[in-house]
Structure 1
Amino acid sequence: MSNDQNQAPRAKVVLVHGFLDDRTAWDDVRSLLGEDFEAVALDLPGSGAHLNDEGPFTLHRLAESVIAEIDRSDNPVVLVGQSMGAQLSELAAAARPGRVAGLVLLTPVPLAGVHLAGDAANSFRSLGGDADAQRQGRLGVSVSLTPRALETLLASGIAVRPAVVAEVFDAWNNGDTAGATSSAYAGPTLIVRGVGDPFVTEEVIDAGVLPRFANARLVGIADAGHFPHLEKPEEVTRIVGDFARSFDRVKA
Structure 2
Amino acid sequence: MKDKLSSTMLNIDNVKVYCEYVCNEKPPVILIHGFVSSTYTFNKIIPLLEKDFSIVAIDLPGFGRSEKSTSFFYSYENYARLVIKIMDYFGMDGVCIVGHSMGGQIALNIAKLIPDKVKKLFLIASSGYLKSSNRLLVYSSYLPFFSLYVKRAINSRSVMDSLRNVFYNQSYITADHIREFERPIKEKNFPKSLIRLLRHREGDLSSYELGKINTPTLLIWGEDDRVVPLRIGKRLVQDLPNAEIITFKETGHLVSEERPNEVSTLISSYSKG
Tell whether the structures are fold-level matches, with TM greater than 0.5. yes
Cα deviation, residue 81, structure 1: 0.4
Letter in 2 for 1:106: I
The equivalent of 1:244 in structure 2 is: 271
User: Residue by residue, what CA displacement relative to the aligned partner does 1:46-82 show, whole Å, maximum 9, x if unpaired?
Assistant: 2234224332211122122221233343441000000
The equivalent of 1:250 in structure 2 is: none
The equivalent of 1:93 in structure 2 is: 111
Say which of 37, 40, 43 aligns to 1:24.
Answer: 40
Q: Partner of 1:204: helix, strand, or coil?
A: helix
Q: Say whether residues 1:60 and 2:77 are aligned partners.
A: yes
Answer 1 or 2: higher relative contact order, Cα 8 Å, separation at least 6. Answer: 1
Q: 1:175 to 1:229 in 2, by over 3 A?
A: same
CA contact (8 A) 1:30 1:40 kept: no
Per the normalisation by structure 1, the TM-score is 0.79
Q: 1:193 to 1:12 in 2, by over 3 A?
A: same
The equivalent of 1:167 in structure 2 is: 196
Cα deviation, residue 186, structure 1: 0.4
Q: Say whether residues 1:181 and 2:181 are aligned partners.
A: no
Q: Say whether residues 1:206 and 2:224 are aligned partners.
A: no
Cα deviation, residue 187, structure 1: 1.4
Q: Partner of 2:115: helix, strand, or coil?
A: coil
Alpha-carbon separation, structure 1, partners of 2:48 and 2:198: 30
Q: 1:216 to 1:180 in 2, by over 3 A?
A: closer
Q: Partner of 2:116: helix, strand, or coil?
A: coil
CA contact (8 A) 1:46 1:52 kept: yes
The equivalent of 1:137 in structure 2 is: 162
Q: 1:28 to 1:188 in 2, by over 3 A?
A: same
User: Residue by residue, what CA displacement relative to the aligned partner does 1:148-169 show, whole Å, maximum 9, x if unpaired?
Assistant: 3344333344446112223335
Q: Partner of 1:181: helix, strand, or coil?
A: helix
User: Residue by residue, what CA displacement relative to the aligned partner does 1:152-203 show, whole Å, maximum 9, x if unpaired?
Assistant: 333344446112223335555x514x42414232010001111110121122
Q: 1:22 to 1:91 in 2, by over 3 A?
A: same
Gaps of 5+ in 2: 4-24, 138-149
Q: Partner of 2:52: helix, strand, or coil?
A: coil
The equivalent of 1:34 in structure 2 is: 50
Q: 1:129 to 1:203 in 2, by over 3 A?
A: closer
Identity of aligned residues (%): 22
The equivalent of 2:88 in structure 1 is: 71
Q: CA RMSD in A?
A: 3.0
Number of positions where the alignment pairs a residue of Structure 1 with one of Structure 2: 232
Letter in 2 for 1:195: E
Aligned pairs (5 A) from 1:118-133? 129-130=154-155, 132-133=157-158
CA contact (8 A) 2:32 2:98 kept: yes
Cα deviation, residue 131, structure 1: 7.4
Alpha-carbon separation, structure 2, partners of 1:24 and 1:108: 17
Per the normalisation by structure 2, the TM-score is 0.74
CA contact (8 A) 1:13 1:77 kept: yes
The equivalent of 1:109 in structure 2 is: 127
CA contact (8 A) 2:234 2:245 kept: no
Cα deviation, residue 102, structure 1: 0.4
Q: 1:19 to 1:12 in 2, by over 3 A?
A: same
Q: 1:237 to 1:76 in 2, by over 3 A?
A: same
Alpha-carbon separation, structure 2, partners of 1:127 and 1:240: 39
Q: Say whether residues 1:216 and 2:250 are aligned partners.
A: no
Q: Say whether residues 1:149 and 2:177 are aligned partners.
A: yes
CA contact (8 A) 1:84 1:109 kept: yes
